């Protein structure tokens, strides 16, 4: 089965949008610091680009959860694979995610993090597929709303591949 990738959002557009998001966050947290939490592995590219552009003090941590198998459909099961290294109590936490699809992963994660007593807790996502939402999640910063298509690149994978594409593409398959 051959795989084709067509560009949905160019590298230039992604970079430009991340700069705008970083400017917004820097303004919102002026005079404070933020603790960015990247959700492995998908958000790594995004969270690094975002962090580099913030003009306020930043610390970073990572956690890993799994909600997908190897295909393109959500399993509905969320599993904590790697926890944070440090406590988040009393911090301004911003969770950075690659994409919100059904919302299952993030709704589980945000509840889990809220229980740890952060001072503030917000959610930032590069991509959102609102049409696919099954569980309600409050998103504070969104890069792009995209249609219900399976995308790869900029950290997003299909079966662990294509994460390294510098743009966001739609993957399609033909026999």
Smallest separation, CB 98 to Mg ion (Å): 5
| Closest of 133, 163, 136, 167 to residue 148, by C-alpha | 133
* Interface map 97-116 toward Mg ion (x if CB under 5 A): --------------------
Q: Is 155 in the site for Mg ion (CB under 5 A)?
A: no
Q: Is 143 in the site for ligand IMP (CB under 6 A)?
A: no
Residues in CB range of 20: below 8 A, 6 or more apart: none
Smallest separation, CB 3 to ligand IMP (Å): 13
Q: Is 99 in the site for ligand IMP (CB under 6 A)?
A: yes
Q: Is 67 in the site for ligand IMP (CB under 6 A)?
A: yes
Residues in CB range of 14: below 8 A, 6 or more apart: 126, 143, 154, 167, 168
Instruction: Write out the catalytic residue numbers.
Output: 101
152 neighbors 165 (Cβ within 8 angstroms): yes
**Torsion, CA 144, CA 147, CA 151, CA 154, rounded to 10:** -10
Phi, psi of 61 (to 5 degrees): -145, 165
Binding residue count for Mg ion, defined by CB under 5 A: 1
Smallest separation, CB 10 to ligand IMP (Å): 17
Of 38, 42, 143, 153, the residue at the interface with Mg ion (CB under 5 A) is 42
For residue 20, whether the previous peptide bond is cis, meaning omega lies within 30 degrees of 0, is: no
Q: Is 38 in the site for Mg ion (CB under 5 A)?
A: no
| Binding residues for ligand IMP (CB under 6 A) | 42, 67-68, 74, 97-106, 150-152, 156
| Binding residues for Mg ion (CB under 5 A) | 42
């Amino acid at each position: 089965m051959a795989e084709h990738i067509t560009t949905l959002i160019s590298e230039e557009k992604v970079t430009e949008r991340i700069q705008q998001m970083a400017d917004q966050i820097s303004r919102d947290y002026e005079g404070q610091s933020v603790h960015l939490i990247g959700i492995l592995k998908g958000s790594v590219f995004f969270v690094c680009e975002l962090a580099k552009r913030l003009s306020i003090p930043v610390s970073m941590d990572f956690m890993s959860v799994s909600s997908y198998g190897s295909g393109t459909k959500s399993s509905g099961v969320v599993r904590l694979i790697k926890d944070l290294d440090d406590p988040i109590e009393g911090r301004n936490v911003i969770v950075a995610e690659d994409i919100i699809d059904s919302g299952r992963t993030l709704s589980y994660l945000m509840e889990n993090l809220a229980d740890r007593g952060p001072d503030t807790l917000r959610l930032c996502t590069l991509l959102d597929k609102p049409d696919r939402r099954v569980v309600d999640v409050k998103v504070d910063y969104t890069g792009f709303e995209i249609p219900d298509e399976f995308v790869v690149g900029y950290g997003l994978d299909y079966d662990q591949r294509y994460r390294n594409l510098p743009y966001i593409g739609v993957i399609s398959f033909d026999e």
